Amino acid sequence: MNDTIAAIATPFGSGGIGVIRISGDKAFDIASRLFSTRKSKPETYPLLKSHKVYHGYVFDLKTYDVIDEVLLIPMQGPRSYTAQDVIEIQAHAGTIVLRTILEQILSCGARLSEPGEFTKRAFLNNRIDLTQAEAVADIINAKSVNALKFAASQNLGTLKNKINDLRDKLINLLSLIEVSIDFPEDVQSFEPGAKEIELIDDILEKCREFIKQHDDACFLKDGIRITICGAPNVGKSSLMNRLLEQDRSIVTAIPGTTRDPVEEGLNIDGIPFVITDTAGIHQTDDLVEIIGIEKAKDHINISDLVLFMKEPGTSFSDREFEKILLPDKLRDVKVIFVVNKIDLEEENLPELSEKYQHIPRIEISALLNRGIKELKQKIVNICIADLDLEKSSIIPNLRHKKALEQAVEGLEAFKEGVIQSLEEEMLAIDLKNSIDCLGTITGETASVDILDNIFNNFCIGK
């Protein structure tokens, strides 16, 4: 933690500006040795003042040739990203120029940083908690405006504050119990009762609400899964390409063209989707087609929304529909009934049966791009109908959810113990477990493994 690290913080490749970051005790010293506000390197080092922007030059320390004209920003800790002394150098963004500057920095005694090491230092120096560190990664990886909004809110500490609030209440309760255990003669024995159960119920409710928020909205981060299915040749691949606005899937007049599922990300109105085109489902002896059909069914089973396609001149049958979408699956999976190729025939279109009238139906022509905009609107409306985006401004991730579930388990055991008037020592164990679980969310009690797992997923230079 005390050594000085450095890395190129911007992506590789050419661009306007590339940033190199240095963090640690030697950062200012290294910058002074390499940098000058003058074109020729003077004998004396410039004395760099914190939080000022310097215009100048970075030099090769052996030849004293100018490597690049740069802007340099010194930030003395703790007022910096890592809470250590930090130098940021904005140079021209070419791979060679940035690497050459980085090599000079490393030759002055800095070490190349590991992935996420700058953010890890910010965490270890208590500038941010673990939820905020995770939010940094989420901001970088956000696939939609909404995902970015949630990540930004978490970066400001919304989840941390709520978790800390719950944890503090439990710590208060635990200290009352522990005092009573440790000093039985000095203090009046503390016996948790109805008031404490009420407190635990309140905390349990909040934990469960967080877990639900994860379940409800995690698809906003990872993408809502849509599968296009139907008989061969109905135009599934044509629809896929229309939705994506690119030729991703092969389209031919030959039935059985698509074999392997074709998957692609799609963003509609800032909401991320993962859309899959599948093999046409029908009776066949062709081994490759049979495997493709099995894969299609697997995709249907894990999707959030299915576009069930039909073409004019065919009829809707409950049996065929249910064979593809198992009836009990219909409760979870959302369906849109898509009638394609209406340019060929406007009469004699397949209709949903009485039993499935509640399923939304739309008529399109993938060939002529008719009805595609309306279909996209329907997709969005259906997928976010149950979701109150404003309300769920906090979305715990899977790691948080697991910790919350363990905390809930501990609190339930504690509550049961209170009801059964168990010994205080036993109650304290359950309570302490829950406190620790909540602590892993913010990083208060997180193990080295958890930290490594989180920070190793970062890019170098962040």
Query: Residue 365's binding partner, choosing from ligand GTP, Mg ion, none, with beta-carbon cut-off 5 to 8 A by kind?
Result: ligand GTP
Residue 378 beta carbon to Mg ion: minimum distance, rounded to whole angstroms: 22
User: Which structure tokens are listed for 197?
Assistant: 């159960």
Over the window 190 to 229, marking each residue x when it contacts Mg ion by CB under 5 A and - when it does not, the resulting string is: ----------------------------------------
Q: Among residues 69, 168, 260, 343, which is the contact residue for ligand GTP, using CB under 6 A?
A: 343
Over the window 410 to 449, marking each residue x when it contacts ligand GTP by CB under 6 A and - when it does not, the resulting string is: ----------------------------------------
For strands 111-112 and 224-230, give the pairing.
Answer: unpaired
For strands 86-93 and 15-23, give the pairing.
Answer: antiparallel
- DSSP conformational letter for 390: T
Q: Which residues, 6+ apart, have CB-to-CB distance to 41 below 8 Å?
A: 57, 59, 64
Dihedral, CA of residue 144, residue 148, residue 149 and residue 150, to nearest 10: 110
Q: Among residues 157, 255, 350, 360, which is the contact residue for ligand GTP, using CB under 6 A?
A: 255
Q: Which residues, 6+ apart, have CB-to-CB distance to 62 below 8 Å?
A: none
Nearer to ligand GTP, 130 or 234 (CB): 234
Residue 454 beta carbon to Mg ion: minimum distance, rounded to whole angstroms: 40
Residue 339 beta carbon to ligand GTP: minimum distance, rounded to whole angstroms: 10
Considering only the stretches 62-70, 162-170, 247-255, 373-381, report the one whose residues sit in contact with ligand GTP under the rule CB under 6 A.
247-255
Nearer to ligand GTP, 177 or 281 (CB): 281
For the chain, the helix, strand and coil percentages under 3-state DSSP, each to the nearest 5: 45, 20, 35
Residue 260 beta carbon to Mg ion: minimum distance, rounded to whole angstroms: 10
| Site for ligand GTP contains 251 (CB under 6 A) | yes
The three-state secondary structure class of 177 is: helix
Contact 129, 151 (CB under 8 A): no
| Site for ligand GTP contains 350 (CB under 6 A) | no
- Helix 424-442 / helix 130-141 crossing angle, nearest 10 deg: 40
Nearer to ligand GTP, 242 or 415 (CB): 242
Place of tokens 């008037």: 421
User: Which structure tokens are listed for 221?
Assistant: 């981060």
| Site for ligand GTP contains 388 (CB under 6 A) | no
- DSSP conformational letter for 129: -
| Site for Mg ion contains 340 (CB under 5 A) | no
DSSP-assigned letters across all residues of 238-289: HHHHHHHTS--S---SSTT---S-EEEEEEETTEEEEEEE-PPP-----HHH
| Site for ligand GTP contains 232 (CB under 6 A) | yes
Over the window 366 to 385, marking each residue x when it contacts ligand GTP by CB under 6 A and - when it does not, the resulting string is: xx------------------
The three-state secondary structure class of 370 is: strand
Over the window 230 to 259, marking each residue x when it contacts Mg ion by CB under 5 A and - when it does not, the resulting string is: ------xx-------------------xx-
- DSSP conformational letter for 327: G
Residue 258 beta carbon to Mg ion: minimum distance, rounded to whole angstroms: 3
Q: Which residues bind ligand GTP (CB under 6 A)?
A: 232-238, 251-253, 255-258, 279-280, 340-341, 343-344, 365-367
Q: Which residues bind Mg ion (CB under 5 A)?
A: 236-237, 257-258
